[in-house]
């Protein structure tokens, strides 16, 4: 197992995972949530999404709703969702 380095500033290292099987909600009937957690401050960010979203849909959403506000992060720690390991 690889030791995860400690970040030196906020949003440098991000943990990413999905919460799925949610009841539809919002104006676009979202049924999932992408959770991004800053490893430095343990601050979460919740992005409503659809469990049917593709890897490209998710990448665009992260860019539009996250990276454009916080800047590009150095590392992403995820549980290797098949959506990403098979598509990107």
pTM recorded for the entire structure: 0.81
- HEC string of 52-74 equals CCCHHHHHHHHHHHHHHHHCCCC
Q: What superfamily in CATH does domain 13-85 come from?
A: Ribonuclease H-like superfamily/Ribonuclease H (3.30.420.10)
The alpha carbon of 75 is separated from its chain's Cα centroid by a whole number of angstroms, namely 12
**42 or 73: which leads in pLDDT:** 42
pLDDT in tens, 26-59: 899 999 999 999 999 999 999 999 999 988 999 9
Higher pLDDT, 33 or 83: 33
Distance CA 52, CA 45 (A): 20
Give the start-to-end residue ranges of the domains of the chain. 13-85
The predicted-structure confidence for 9-29, as pLDDT tens digits, reads as follows 999 999 999 998 899 998 999
């Amino acid at each position: 197992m690889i030791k995860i380095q400690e970040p030196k500033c906020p949003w440098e290292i991000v943990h990413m995972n999905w919460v799925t099987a949610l009841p539809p909600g919002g104006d676009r009937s979202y049924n999932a949530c992408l959770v991004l957690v800053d490893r430095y401050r343990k601050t979460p960010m919740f992005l409503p999404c659809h469990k049917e979203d593709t890897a490209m849909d998710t990448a665009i959403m992260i860019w539009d709703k996250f990276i454009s506000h916080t800047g590009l992060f150095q590392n992403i720690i995820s549980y290797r969702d098949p959506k990403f390991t098979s598509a990107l």
